[in-house]
Amino acid sequence: MTAYDIPRLKTALAGLKIEENPAIVKQKSRDFFWYSPVLKRQLDHITADLVVSPKSETEVIRVLAECYALGIPVTPRGSGTGNYGQAMPLSGGVVLNLAEMNKVKAISRGSVVAEAGAVLAEIDRQTRAAVQQELRLHPSTYNTASIAGFVAGGSGGVGSINWGGLRNIGNVISMRVVTMEAAPRVMEMKGRDLMKVMHAYGTNGIITEVEMPLDAAYDWIDVIVGFDDYMKAVRFANELANQDGLLFKEIATVASPVPYDYFLRHQKFLRREQSVVLLMVAPQAMAPFLSLAELRRADICYRSDTATEAEKKGLPPVFELTWNHTTLRGLRVDPTITYLQVLYPFPDHIARIERMTKLLGDEVPGHLEFQRFDGNICASGLPIVRFTSEARLDEIIRLHEDNGCPIFNPHRYTLEEGGMKKTDAIQLAFKHEADPKGLLNPGKMIAWENPDFDLNSDKVYLFPGLQAAE
């Protein structure tokens, strides 16, 4: 299947936890790439040769040194909750499963240090108990995602309404990163240095430990507000997001009929005509929030603080209706849908949202996540797309771009095509330093694989090292 000397690697790694069962290896070589019909076609067959699960940084170093010596690719993996194949080993080799390095190592007021594989919700359980604080940001996969996976492959999420994204300085304090060399080095990074490896999919170093800032923990109240007109929901959400004195952890909107059709457990609280605003409200903000909601004639469909135990039974938390969980719930009902990632830039975000809503109607039902962006409130979108063909999907992308709404394409597996469509010189330079043989997560950084590739052409990058489908 590959030319790698796997038997020799296994001998060299004797004593480490190694998994070779092809079914399990394939399962650990996947993430949620299948949200995208494009990535599903391209990556469905991808699998590693084996999975190694180190229990310490020392074991990580040992794996990297041996793989370096044998020229075997290493693709790091946390919980595999990414959506773009971030942790998929395009050229096979080793999946470095960091899930068993999951200790919370230190908690103080304002910050926590955890090993790479620590699950976000478990970190928060411990920080809440210790200092009544919690992580600022988490994806909707809070209950399964790992901290290093979030930093290496995520961008923001619940909490971004207050703190912006992971890219903003201050949202990660420090990290330990191991290089892929003959004698791997451990680098301690903080400040601007963090940009070298953040959101780099593990292409230029293996994160073994992360220090994150904490914020006050509250018993957030889940609220769903209904409107019969989607733009009314959007305007209300925008007004809430701009209320400096009201504390929310999450503000999202979802256009009808998506909430009724796809949020099956919450269906009993909704009418099919209703678009919704999804909120996590701090308890101390409920009275002023309700006062404003009443003034705006908003329909409170659901609130967890007054719901009965019978009503709450089996309900997921509201954050599991937001971010990529909106798409996931849609896919469970209708596997033919997919989604996009859109930025509606400040200060014209409301006008642009309205334009795209009118233009695309029910082919692209709206889903917005309000967030802070360089000091201002704007919205990013993860609209549902009723998928018909890759050509039409490309056309929908072009329609957004033509209307001033940049797309972060979730149907591409490379950093550049899914991101800013330009070379990240800092990440590239660090890859030259930390992964001279280019063995870490191959195929994800175009700037490394093919520096001459024109990111502004209409061509899709095809990684030559991609495993052939059988």
- Catalog residues that contact a second copy under the rule CB under 8 A: 109-111, 131-133, 163-165, 168-171, 173-174, 190-193, 213-216, 218-219, 241-247, 282-285, 287-292, 295, 347, 372-377
In this complex, which beta carbon is closest to a second copy, that of residue 174 or of residue 357?
174
Contacts of 57 (CB under 8 A, 6+ apart): 101, 176, 178, 186, 208, 209
- Of the two residues 95 and 246, which places its CB atom closer to a second copy in the complex? 246
* CB closer to a second copy out of 216 and 264: 216
Measured CA distances, 391 to 99, 384, 397, 434, 462 (Å): 38, 17, 10, 39, 17
In the complex with a second copy, the residue whose CB is nearer, 143 or 243, is 243
Q: Please, which residue, 296 or 392, has the CB nearer to a second copy?
A: 296
CB of 173 to a second copy, least distance (A): 6
Output the smallest distance, CB 350 to a second copy, in A: 12
d(CA 135, CA 127): 8
Name the minimum Å distance from CB 241 to a second copy. 7
C-alpha 235/C-alpha 111 separation (Å) is 35
- Number of CB atoms found within 10 A of residue 217's CB: 15
Find residue 370's DSSP bridge partners: 379
Toward a second copy, which CB reaches closer, 2 or 242? 242
User: Residue 17 CB, nearest distance to a second copy (Å)?
Assistant: 34
Q: Which is nearer to a second copy, 71 or 110 (CB)?
A: 110
- Residue carrying the six token digits 């991808």: 46
Q: How far is the CB of 206 from a second copy (least distance, A)?
A: 22
Task: Name the minimum Å distance from CB 211 to a second copy.
Answer: 9
Cβ-based nearer residue to a second copy, 61 or 379: 379
Minimum distance from CB of 50 to a second copy (Å)?
Answer: 38
Question: Measured from the CB of residue 161, what is the shortest distance to a second copy in angstroms?
Answer: 10
